[in-house]
Amino acid sequence: MAETLTVSLRERSYPIALGAGLRGDVRAELDRRVHAGGKVAVLTDVNVASRQGDTLKAMFGDAPRCTVAAGEGIKSIGGLGDVLEFLASHRIDRTGALFAVGGGVVGDLGGFAAASYLRGIDFVQVPTTLLAMVDSSVGGKTGINLRAGKNLAGAFHQPRAVFVDTDFLQTLPQREFAAGMAEVIKYGLLGDAELFTQLERAALTPASANLADVIRRCCALKAKIVEGDERELAAESGRALLNLGHTFGHAIEQVAGYGTYLHGEAIGIGLCAAARLSQELGCLSATEVARITAVVGAHALPVRLRAPLVMKSLMSALAQDKKSRAGVPRFVVLKRLGEAATQSEGITATMIEGCFRAVGAKDSL
């Protein structure tokens, strides 16, 4: 039986159905749309299509399916063009809907295609990675990458519904599950201290009895944050809190070269660096920083760079962070375990360098 949460955004409100075995629920959503005269199309990637073929068939039958290459590379102008042409070739009209069935890549790409096709059609998120279940499928941020950087073109376009079926995780590679755990740990740290202590007591695995409950807690927290600051306009905190560990993590991803670390792996190291910064600012004790590092490590995530990166490159990547205000990067710092805030005042370059050094950056190689 699915449990339902609601993301309350007035006329853009939508349900998140959570549980195992939601094939029938997704099928019912598709049938409802088709019976009302709407055309539906499905976007997925080759890995999901090959590993979850039976589930896709049960959920979507013979609905037109666009299967794109797997991986970040498809979140591109070319990838977007292919999805838009696919929708047009199947004569999806304004009453139509696109079901995005995959990880964050398919969700972001499909969401942006749905936002721009005919100036906006409905889309439904069916996340298949842990990261997409706890994070990217909720909140309406959609987009693609440009040569100049990640997620530089996109739109806010809320899905009409999200179906989180944990059965998909059975075929997810272990390394991808671990990458999703970085976001789960992030939620515990920024707003759910009890979740953090649960993860500390026992590392979460795909077989954990409390897996669905943990995903539900993350979605509930994300929904609450999005409801308070849908377009990330809050002067302080708000949706930007979801970037805990990401300011450091994005710099690491970029300097190491995209693909060297999975996004979640870079965020794992970023969380350790953010913990260190919070200690520097007098908010966390050394013991708490060690506890955070231990939880990240216990979930098969790196807590330090696998190979040193050069400080100068990391610092210049930070300066280009798209969350910067007037050239000053905003960091999310922990006020205590389970509570975060955005901050830029009082954070010096020396402090940041210290944090990068603590996770293995070097002044020269």
Ligand X SMILES: NC(=O)c1ccc[n+]([C@@H]2O[C@H](COP(=O)([O-])OP(=O)(O)OC[C@H]3O[C@@H](n4cnc5c(N)ncnc54)[C@H](O)[C@@H]3O)[C@@H](O)[C@H]2O)c1
Residues 272-301 within binding reach of ligand X (CB under 6 A) = none
Residue 70 interacts with ligand X (CB under 6 A)? yes
d(CA 167, CA 55): 9
Report the nearest approach of ligand X to the CB of residue 20 (Å). 13
Q: Which of 186, 216, 239, 276 is catalytic?
A: 239
Residues 202-231 within binding reach of ligand X (CB under 6 A) = none
d(CA 53, CA 62): 12
Q: Is 98 in a helix, a strand, or coil?
A: strand
- Exposed / middle / buried, residue 322 (Cβ in 10 Å: 0-12, 13-18, 19+): exposed
Contact indicator for 167, 241 with CB cutoff of 8 Å = no
Would you say 106 or 318 has its CB closer to ligand X?
106
Out of 75, 239, 276, 299, which residue is the one contacting ligand X (CB under 6 A)?
75
Residue 232 appears among annotated catalytic residues: yes
Residue 35 appears among annotated catalytic residues: no
Residue 230 appears among annotated catalytic residues: no
When CB distances to ligand X are compared, the closest residue is: 104
Stretch near ligand X under the rule CB under 6 A, chosen from 19-27, 124-132, 271-279, 341-349: 124-132
Residue 222 appears among annotated catalytic residues: yes
- For residue 293, give the nearest of 281, 280, 305, 275 by alpha carbon: 275
Residue 65 interacts with ligand X (CB under 6 A)? no
- Tell me the two tokens of residue 149: 């950087």
d(CA 192, CA 255): 31
Report the nearest approach of ligand X to the CB of residue 153 (Å). 12
Contact indicator for 252, 361 with CB cutoff of 8 Å = no
Would you say 183 or 280 has its CB closer to ligand X?
183
Residue 157 appears among annotated catalytic residues: no
- Exposed / middle / buried, residue 65 (Cβ in 10 Å: 0-12, 13-18, 19+): middle
Which run of H or of E encompasses 165? strand 161-165
Contact indicator for 69, 46 with CB cutoff of 8 Å = yes
Out of 29, 122, 135, 321, which residue is the one contacting ligand X (CB under 6 A)?
135
Task: Write the binding mask 155 to 194 for ligand X: x where contact by CB under 6 A, - elsewhere.
Answer: -------------x--xx---x--x---------------
| Residues of the chain by 3-state class (helix, strand, coil), percent to 5 | 50, 20, 30
CA distances from 11 to 8, 29, 145 (A): 8, 19, 29
Residue 141 interacts with ligand X (CB under 6 A)? yes
Would you say 263 or 276 has its CB closer to ligand X?
263
Report the nearest approach of ligand X to the CB of residue 294 (Å). 23
Residue 280 appears among annotated catalytic residues: no
Residues that bind ligand X (CB under 6 A): 45, 47-48, 51-52, 70-72, 75, 102-106, 108, 128-129, 131-132, 135-136, 139, 141, 151, 168, 171-172, 176, 179, 263
Q: Which residues are catalytic?
A: 119, 141, 183, 222, 232, 239, 243, 246, 250, 263
